Amino acid sequence: MKYNHEIVVITGASAGVGRATAHRFAREGARVVLIARGSTALDAAAKEVRDMGAEALAIPVDVADAVQVEAAVERIEQEFGPIDIWINAAMATIFAPVSEITPKEFRRATEVTYLGTVQCTMAALKRMRARDRGKIVQVGSALAYRAIPLQSAYCGAKFAIRGFTDALRVELMHEKSKVTVTMVQLSAFNTPQFQWARSKLPRRPQPVPPIYQPELAAEGIHYAAHHQRRELWVGYPAVKAILGNKLVPWLADRILAKQGYSGQMDKQPVLADRPDNLFDAVDKDFGTHGRFDDRSRRFSPQLWATTHRRVVAVGVLGAVALLAHGWLRRGMDDRH
């Protein structure tokens, strides 16, 4: 293990992408602070970090509560020291058509996913700006660019996070601050959110295939935390959705109108006792992965290429040189 002793704070760290990210930083010896609402899963995630040989501090926090967030940051800096990296991965959502979502449900999903990100960023930034160093990573989604049906609350929050982050980035640039902020836009991942997010769909919700394992997202987040990238896209589906929406949004509308409902549900009915974490944490440890292990990919050529741009550039230049050499040889042979 390489001990770097970075102090890294991860919200939404009790499951899914947040938990996988905690594992990724723990493997390099970072001092990891895990923030989430549910104590059972949070404690289990912290134990995993410690079992990897890293220090862990688990703090139950509802990121929608600014007072809790501020108290947590004070405790972190007192017990662990100055925060180096803050990663916002906490989220809450609801799967339902707009017509079936109540104002209270919309408000709650927005308070956790969007305002939680804003409040955590502000609390971390207050300390980082004073020290003129630090990195904030917002965990976003392709849905921050291309909204889809049945996830209006989540899409709205992710769009808002992107707007907030873009504005903040420019403000930091104007101040010539050494604090940096980046956003990681993810594809579909195999996380437990599809088992505990509130749903009013007739069948079990699922991510739109292709699906990736959370560890791949963690690799992208770890890379973004240590490199100067405005944004990092993880997985070819994110690239396709973002660029496709920029070029032909009307086509995406039509495709989603036909496939956006069925693509987000499997064939099994929703169980009557299905847990729901929109307003209160589910007191159960679901782990890092969701129920889609047999359908999930562990590697993305797109992510490898975007995190190895120099290697790719050298390879492209080499291929061009070989082609040019071949053309030149054929041209000389033709002359003779």
2-17 tens-digit pLDDT = 556 899 999 999 999 9
Q: Which helix (H) or strand (E) holds 322?
A: helix 309-335
Asked if 323 and 283 sit in the same domain, the reply is no
Burial (Cβ within 10 Å: 0-12, 13-18, ≥19) of residue 3: exposed
Domain that holds residue 123: 7-299
> Whole-prediction pTM value?
0.92
C-alpha distances out from residue 207 to 71, 139, 188, 248, 261, Å:
35, 17, 6, 23, 11
Q: State the pLDDT at residue 331.
A: 67
| Position 1 in a domain | no
The total domain count for the chain is: 2
Asked if pLDDT for residue 334 goes beyond 70, the answer is no
Each residue's pLDDT tens digit, 39-92: 899 999 999 999 999 999 999 999 999 999 999 999 999 999 999 999 999 999
Confidence of residue 188 (pLDDT cuts 50, 70, 90): very high
Same domain (yes/no): 243, 332: no
330 and 242 within one domain: no
Q: Is the peptide bond before 60 cis (omega within 30 degrees of 0)?
A: no
Q: Which two tokens stand for residue 246?
A: 């920029």
Q: State the CB neighbour count (10 A cutoff) for residue 44.
A: 18
Q: Is 3 annotated as catalytic?
A: no
Pair (312, 240) in one structural domain: no
Co-location of 177 and 126 in the same domain = yes
Domain contains 90: yes
CATH code: domain of residue 254: 3.40.50.720
Q: Which of 154, 212, 223, 261 is catalytic?
A: 154
The structure tokens 């980035």 sit at: 169
Nearest Cα residue to 46 out of 63, 65, 67, 60: 60
One domain for residues 72 and 129: yes
Residue 274's pLDDT is: 87
Asked whether residue 2 is assigned to any structural domain, the reply reads no
